[in-house]
Amino acid sequence: MARGERGIPMAAVERLLKRRGTQAGVDRVSDKAVRAMKEILEDVALEIAGRAAALAQHAKRTTVKPEDIKLAAKALFRGL
């Protein structure tokens, strides 16, 4: 995302990284690590959203349901 565009807040990503880091014995997280994680999370979210929309369309619905999101995420991570 370009500067000024919205997305996942950096502070939220930093909190997640710090929470897991603390559990693993890591005290600090670099700004570059936070930005990298933010970009990856946004890419994954967009991929899941696209797959979920396709599932809803296949079911002849115009509403994406929670089960579409769960199935799309499961399919995405199964492919890794």
Over residues 28-54, the pLDDT tens digits come to 999 999 999 999 999 999 999 999 999
Q: What is the model's pLDDT at position 5?
A: 63
- The pTM (predicted TM-score) of the whole model is 0.83
Contacts by 13-17, CB closer than 8 A, 24 or more apart: 13/37, 13/38, 13/41
Q: How many residues does the chain have?
A: 80
Q: Is the Cα dihedral 18, 19, 20, 23 positive or negative?
A: positive
